[in-house]
Chain A
Amino acid sequence: MLEMLQYDFMVKALIVGLLVALCSALLGVSLVLKRFSMIGDGLSHVGFGALALGAALGLAPLSVAVPVIVIAALILLKISSNAKIKGDAAIALVSSSALAIGTIILSKTTGTTDVNSYMFGSIMAINDEDLILSVIYSVIVIALFIFFYNKIFAVTFDEGFSKATGVKVGAYNTIIATLTALTVAVGMRIMGALLISSLIIFPALTSMRVFKSFRAVTICSAVVSCISYITGITLTFYLDFPAGPSVVIVNLGVFIIFTLVGIITGKRK
């Protein structure tokens, strides 16, 4: 563990990764329960396209990715809340298009070797500018999440009731979507476009196997997500696994353990 911290790139990957793991776990609970899991997935593919574009234009990756992903999030949210268009089909359409555009841009400019790093993540990817931006965005996400925690619970649990009693449901859905977009943008360099959504979905599903209150599920998700991230990144360092996949594998392992615990404690009742 200590040896790992002697490397500058590992320290950056740990700081940014832990913040992203925390943000995505917090938002994940609401997204999974609102049946919005796929939005995270769609956004990461849009992010892939945006990163490729940023690289081609020689701009800092996050400065292009953040606005593009936020706009995409708002569009996807709009589509999902409109019953006339099938939300899941729209997301699939948007993500494959963004993926195609991104890959073409990459192959024509920096070469396809970068595709691998963009898709599956890399711990070497974080430079100083990214680090600062990532920290700022993550702190914003966490602060807003805590500030709006009760409202996020209410609009997740029962939109109709919340709306009827005067909670600005539309505004809070927009906040959730925007925070998700920021998290995806910050996290996708380490986790990769294909795998960032697992960081959103896994911890929430894992915690829901065992815990029964919204608060306990939220806290447990945050803890599970951070521990899984540290374990995954340690595997990356010592066994030379790709970063994103090792974090996902650890998350899968924890999910299986929690599922078993849930079954055992459930039977005892």
Chain B
Amino acid sequence: MSSFLIECKDLTIGYEGVPVVKDLSFSVGEGDYLCIVGENGSGKSTLMKTLLGLKHQTKGEIIFGGGLKQTQIGYLPQQTVAQKDFPATVREVVLSGFLGKKGLLPFYTKAEKEKCRHNMELMGITELAKKSYRDLSGGQQQRVLLARALCATEKLLLLDEPVSGLDPMVTAKMYEIIDSLNKNQGITVIMISHDLQGALKYGNKILHMESGEYFFGTTGDYRRTDIFHEMSTCQCNCDCDHHTGAIKTEGGDVNA
């Protein structure tokens, strides 16, 4: 890999001595769109927390390249319940993305406010700026949090299930936005997803995690693996919400 942003070598991460992720190695280059897929409990979110520095690995190392610092990663977390009735305007939320790099400086600068305006425009939420975050739809909230993540980074976005719980049309829109950030803004994307179809359609690399077994490679290579065939047949036969949602998305996309 010529210019990697993140390289993980023999990473082991665990809770109280029990490893959740074991000897995992992969790397993400500039401009990549990596989708992390796999069943619940396989350590996807744990891995993401470790990349963000919220959790320490028990073994192995994470190397940042391309001048990237850990605090320059934009992060879209899974939504938590407490946020849902929080009094905050869209603008207040988006601006808070800058705080990590401000150190002790107390107030936002003009340049930051301008960048915030730009990011809101990019996400198509300019007209929502003064609206209350809690009154927005799920898809709108995700776009607000994505705009906030963009205030925190210019290089790398980590997205934890960005489309879960969204309806098919909104899911398709969300994918389009993320895709355009990747292709047009040159932002590297690492995304955890339960939606295999979306992952294959947009990602150029796949990290498949399943209790101790990993696949890491290009989307094309992944399609030829056995795990992929198992996953895809499983997804077609299964009627879990997010799976059917994912398949419908494809239809929604065609209509749009």
Q: Which residues of B contact A154 (CB under 8 A)?
A: 96, 99
- Judge whether B135 and A158 touch: CB under 8 Å: no
Q: Which residues of A contact B83 (CB under 8 A)?
A: 157-158
Q: Which of A146, A151, A164 contacts B53 (CB 8 A)?
A: A164
Asked whether B134 is an interface residue with its Cβ less than 8 Å from the other chain, the reply is yes
Q: For A146, give the chain B residue with the smallest CB separation.
A: B106
* A-contacting 9-mer, from B71-79, B167-175, B230-238, B241-249: B71-79
- Judge whether A166 and B87 touch: CB under 8 Å: no
> Is the interface on chain A under 10, 10 to 19, 20 to 34, or 35 or more residues?
20 to 34
Asked whether B89 is an interface residue with its Cβ less than 8 Å from the other chain, the reply is yes
Given contacts A149-B106, A161-B77, contact A35 B87 (CB under 8 A): no
- Judge whether B99 and A213 touch: CB under 8 Å: no
Q: Which residues of A contact B149 (CB under 8 A)?
A: 161
- Judge whether B77 and A158 touch: CB under 8 Å: yes
Chain A 154-190, CB-CB to B under 8 Å as 1, else 0, gives 1001101111111100000000000000000000000
Given contacts A212-B87, A213-B132, A214-B87, contact A162 B53 (CB under 8 A): no
Q: Which residues of B contact A164 (CB under 8 A)?
A: 52-54, 73, 75, 77, 100, 158
| CA of A151 to CA of B99, assembled, Å | 7
Question: Which of A29-43 touch B at CB < 8 Å?
Answer: 33, 35
- Judge whether B97 and A165 touch: CB under 8 Å: yes
Asked whether B254 is an interface residue with its Cβ less than 8 Å from the other chain, the reply is no
Rounded to whole Å, the gap between the CB of A262 and the closest CB of chain B is 11
Rounded to whole Å, the gap between the CB of B155 and the closest CB of chain A is 13
Rounded to whole Å, the gap between the CB of A221 and the closest CB of chain B is 10
| CA of A253 to CA of B95, assembled, Å | 35
Q: Which of A162, A214, A217 contacts B99 (CB 8 A)?
A: A162
Asked whether A150 is an interface residue with its Cβ less than 8 Å from the other chain, the reply is yes
Q: Which residues of B contact A161 (CB under 8 A)?
A: 75, 77, 96, 145, 148-149
Q: Which of B73, B77, B92 contacts A213 (CB 8 A)?
A: B92
- Judge whether A160 and B82 touch: CB under 8 Å: no
| CA of A216 to CA of B91, assembled, Å | 13
Q: Which residues of B contact A208 (CB under 8 A)?
A: 87
Which residue, of B70, B75, B100, B148, has the highest number of chain A Cβ atoms within 10 A? B100
- Judge whether B106 and A147 touch: CB under 8 Å: yes
Q: Which of A158, A162, A167, A212 contacts B132 (CB 8 A)?
A: A212
Q: Which of A35, A165, A212, A217 contacts B82 (CB 8 A)?
A: A35
Asked whether B152 is an interface residue with its Cβ less than 8 Å from the other chain, the reply is yes
Chain B 2-38, CB-CB to A under 8 Å as 1, else 0, gives 0000000000000000000000000000000000000
| CA of A33 to CA of B84, assembled, Å | 11
- Judge whether A213 and B88 touch: CB under 8 Å: yes
Rounded to whole Å, the gap between the CB of A36 and the closest CB of chain B is 12
- Judge whether A153 and B92 touch: CB under 8 Å: yes
- Judge whether A150 and B89 touch: CB under 8 Å: no
Chain B 178-201, CB-CB to A under 8 Å as 1, else 0, gives 000000000000000000000000
| CA of A217 to CA of B83, assembled, Å | 15
| CA of A73 to CA of B46, assembled, Å | 31
30 A-B pairs in the complex with CB atoms less than 8 angstroms apart: A146-B106, A148-B106, A149-B106, A150-B95, A150-B96, A150-B99, A151-B106, A153-B88, A153-B96, A157-B83, A157-B88, A157-B96, A160-B75, A160-B80, A162-B96, A164-B52, A164-B73, A164-B100, A165-B97, A165-B99, A166-B71, A167-B99, A167-B100, A211-B87, A212-B89, A212-B132, A213-B87, A214-B87, A214-B88, A217-B87
Query: Can you list the 3 inter-chain pairs with the closest CB atoms, starting with the nearest?
Result: A166-B71, A165-B100, A212-B132
- A residues touching B (Cβ–Cβ < 8 Å)? 33, 35, 146-151, 153-154, 157-158, 160-167, 207-208, 211-217
